[in-house]
Amino acid sequence: MSINTILAPIQNELQMVETRLRESVRLDFAPLTSVFESLIESGGKRVRPALSILATKFHPTDADKMVSLAVATELVHAATLIHDDLIDKSPLRRGSPTINSRWSGTATVLAGDYLLARAADVAANIDNFRVMKIFARTLMAICEGEIRQDFGGAHWPPNRDEYYRHIESKTASLLIACTEGGAILSDGTEAEIAALRAYGYNLGMAFQVVDDILDFTADENKLGKPVGSDLRQGTFTLPVFYFIEQDTRAARITDFLSEDIEQLIHEIRTSPAIDASKAEARRFAQAAQDALKIFPDTLYRRALSELAAYVVERTN
Amino acid sequence: MSINTILAPIQNELQMVETRLRESVRLDFAPLTSVFESLIESGGKRVRPALSILATKFHPTDADKMVSLAVATELVHAATLIHDDLIDKSPLRRGSPTINSRWSGTATVLAGDYLLARAADVAANIDNFRVMKIFARTLMAICEGEIRQDFGGAHWPPNRDEYYRHIESKTASLLIACTEGGAILSDGTEAEIAALRAYGYNLGMAFQVVDDILDFTADENKLGKPVGSDLRQGTFTLPVFYFIEQDTRAARITDFLSEDIEQLIHEIRTSPAIDASKAEARRFAQAAQDALKIFPDTLYRRALSELAAYVVERTN
């Protein structure tokens, strides 16, 4: 099932988000506006706005605040992409030149900061302190996770617990902010808020595990970067941990890494570690779907459930 | 009059701010905590917390929220210092190694982001959306101002209007957030909020003009950097504009800049441009003091007034 089909029930809302997103990055300094616009327009799947909107749909919710929540989550996401690309020195993002490849480091840092500020500004319009605090905490978790990884090189090997902790802060935390924030905004019960929080967490974990699998298995043209990029940069992801645990040659992994990285990547992508990782992603997706059981079987619950399935089965 | 004497009436409140500041940067990842602690402990004058507190003192104000406002302003300030030092590649800040000189660019960007997130988190505790929005807008102004400068090199010469606009976003905007935020938090009247906003603006402008004068006139040991650093980096500040306007040799300023920057700096620091700039700073400080006239003559109004005088007369 395509993402557009899944999100059909909230097409109008997503259209409002697009309009507000564009407005939110329009400022009286044209060069900056044009850079933000191209970042925003290069799109992506708007997973975070979609989650935010769907999570509000179990109770009547103020449309303007719902859109603000969705826009704020996408702005935070865009800001973290800007800083991530700078940190990774990435030349391209979704096929377009990154801000860091066109501008100075200075301007790139500040462009990201500006979007964070804009996200806070939009989030403040929601007039809900619980949501505001979730946003602030999410951003702290994202930064702390990245910094921890930056310093984590000190001990070897990293372990799977740290991997889970890292992808929770890197990816799941913002998806939690979307779904928990939406639930709070719609005045859901505490049980509903907890359920949508659990959904967001598990969806985020599934999403990132699949991203990390695709880094090994996807078509290079679709990826837009060489296969095994994470490992090339020294980052161990779930397939690597399963490979280490399951393959006797893995005792030699440090040799592999320094001597024949191409061979190592080939070994991993053709090993049972990929299926084991995929099974793990499916378990997370299943847990996300299970968390939805307390809600009535509406169009929106079905969309959330289908999103969880989509996240695992996608190929790019 | 020393800054400690001026701020004596709010010593207890500033002590609470110190405690909360330290708590606010304590996280379970020790290396980051220690870097933040040394940044926080290297101190500075706590001008922003002091302004925030004093601005609440014309009406009874919840102490906890007042401290939150003060802490949030100092965290935003600390975050901007981290990103500024990275941008300027500064090795030292108040005599201590900067984060960028000890850590990777990655970690430095993220450390600044983390403090911004923490500031938002603390600000959310104030439970006042008007204050929250002022914070977000302030951060946007700071970023936009810096980016504008980064791009501004394209046209020559810069002009004095742009200089004022730049220092407003760079310095005055956060001071406005302190004083306007404090006034709002204390449930001041709209007239009082406007008065403290005007005070913050004028104090901020005076503060930055004096900073820019000191960059030419201060003792290098006190400055901790070479005299004329701004001009060496191609940044024109108020003394330069007055020099250009008042000195016939200024027509040759582009030659000066490329051929004999030491001589140019010497010419400026011994020219009437310094006194003219100082007079400008005094006009701003006077406007700040005038804005206070609608308040009763309390210890706190006097402290604000003395702060304005101090800002102009300080030598470092």
- Residue-wise pLDDT for B140-156, tens only, equals 888 888 777 766 554 45
Residue B241: exposed, middle, or buried by beta-carbon count in 10 A (0-12, 13-18, 19+)?
Answer: buried
Rounded distance, CA B210 to CA B198, Å? 18
Q: Which residues of A touch B109 (CB under 8 A)?
A: 83, 86-87, 109, 112
What is the pLDDT, as a whole number, of residue A274?
96
Enumerate residue ranges in chain A where pLDDT < 50: 154
Question: Directed axis angle between helix A11-24 and helix A63-88, to 10°?
Answer: 60
Instruction: Using the Cα atoms of residue A231, residue A234, residue A239 and residue A240 in order, give the sign of their dihedral.
Output: positive
Residue B312: what residue type? V
B83, B109, B126, B165: best to mutate for the A interface, most A CBs within 10 A: B109
Nearest CB neighbour to A32, from listed B31, B107, B147:
B147
Which of the 8 DSSP states describes residue A39? H
Q: Which residue has the higher pLDDT, B103 or B169?
A: B169
Six-digit token string for B274: 């310094």
What is the pLDDT, as a whole number, of residue A154?
45
Rounded distance, CA B173 to CA B146, Å? 13
What is the pLDDT, as a whole number, of residue B195?
98
If we measure between CA atoms, which residue out of A307, A315, A313 comes closest to residue A52? Answer: A307
**Region B72-100: what's the mean pLDDT?**
83
Q: What is the pLDDT of residues B47-83, one digit of tens each?
A: 999 999 999 999 999 999 999 999 999 999 999 888 8
Helices (H), chain A: 3-6, 11-24, 30-41, 47-55, 63-88, 99-102, 105-124, 129-152, 160-167, 173-185, 190-217, 220-223, 229-232, 238-246, 253-259, 261-269, 273-291, 299-313
Residue B135 pLDDT level (bands cut at 50, 70, 90): confident
Q: Specify whether the CB–CB gap between B151 and A107 falls below 8 A.
A: yes
Residue B225 pLDDT level (bands cut at 50, 70, 90): confident
In sequence order, what are the residues at sequence separation of 6 or more whose Cβ sits closer than 8 angstroms to the Cβ of residue A293? none
What is the pLDDT, as a whole number, of residue B191?
98
Nearest CB neighbour to B86, from listed A31, A109, A135:
A109
What is the pLDDT, as a whole number, of residue A129?
86
Interface predicted TM-score (ipTM): 0.76
Q: Which residues of A touch B142 (CB under 8 A)?
A: 113, 117
Which of the 8 DSSP states describes residue A248? G
Q: What is the pLDDT of residues B228-237, one digit of tens each?
A: 888 888 888 9
CB contact under 8 A, A120 and B129: no
If we measure between CA atoms, which residue out of A88, A101, A84 comes closest to residue A38? Answer: A101
- Domain of B182, in residue numbers: 3-313
What is the pLDDT, as a whole number, of residue B80?
87
Residue B55: what residue type? A
DSSP assignment string, A220-231: HHHHTS-TTHHH
User: pTM value?
Assistant: 0.85
Phi, psi of A93, rounded to the nearest 5 degrees: -140, 120
In chain A, how many domains are there? 1
What is the pLDDT, as a whole number, of residue A250?
63
**Region B158-174: what's the mean pLDDT?**
90
Instruction: Using the Cα atoms of residue B228, residue B234, residue B237 and residue B239 in order, give the sign of their dihedral.
Output: positive
Tell me the CATH number at B207.
1.10.600.10
CB contact under 8 A, A32 and B144: yes
CA distance B128 to chain A (A): 9
Q: Specify whether the CB–CB gap between B194 and B158 falls below 8 A.
A: no
Q: Which residues of A touch B144 (CB under 8 A)?
A: 27, 29, 32, 114
Rounded distance, CA B188 to CA B274, Å? 38
DSSP assignment string, B60-107: ---HHHHHHHHHHHHHHHHHHHHHHHHHHT-SEETTEE-HHHHS-HHH
Average pLDDT along chain B = 88
Q: What is the pLDDT of residues B247-292, one digit of tens each?
A: 776 667 777 777 788 888 998 999 999 999 999 999 999 999 999 9
Q: Specify whether the CB–CB gap between A65 and A126 falls below 8 A.
A: yes
Q: Specify whether the CB–CB gap between B104 and B110 falls below 8 A.
A: no
